[in-house]
Amino acid sequence: MLEYEWIEGENLWRYPFEKLELQERLQLLETIFTFHEKVEQKSFVAIGFNNASMIYDETNKRLKIVNIDHYEKNEHINKMENVLPSSPFVSPEELTLNTKLNTRTNVYRMGAIAFSVLGKDQNLAGSPMHKVAKRAMSKDSTERFESVQDFHQIWKKAVEVSLAVQGY
């Protein structure tokens, strides 16, 4: 039997991110992207990662990533006919049997989680952050950033420019 430390907070599956200030949402994304850079450095693909994989403690402003059961070694061959995660987080290659899931699959998920956490903030539509997340979710994996690290570096620059332009 496995025992886990209890974590205070709310599962983010149907969390209303719009209620959080933009800076707080950006901090959540920073935590997620930093974690997945480390995942990638260990040569894993974030299969199954989505909002339900996280618990957020609003009081202490702490995010915990809790569900990494389905992460697989990089260059994993997709053998599943039905994918586990919710469709907005699923890359096109995860819908095709016998395709390789790799660093660009991770990048797709980071773009999807960025859109999910940023929500429907109309002030960000067309912003550099929006464009970086959109590229990360390109249907053609060769058009995505090569790694989460590459994505994250550009993301940080996009955040800086977006905040300066939007006046947050």
Split at pLDDT 50, 70, 90, the class of 67 is confident
For 10-33, what is the mean pLDDT? 96
**Residue 86: pLDDT above 70?**
no
Q: How confident is the model at residue 88 (pLDDT cuts 50, 70, 90)?
A: confident
- Which residues is 73 bridged to in the sheet? 44
Strands (DSSP E) along 23-154, which ranges?
44-45, 54-57, 62-65, 72-73, 76-77, 100-101
CATH architecture of 14-67+86-166: Orthogonal Bundle (1.10)
Nearest-5° angle of CA 119, CA 38, CA 133? 30
Quick check: 7 pLDDT over 90? no
- Does the reported pTM lie above 0.75? yes
Phi (first) and psi of residue 62, to 5 degrees: -120, 135
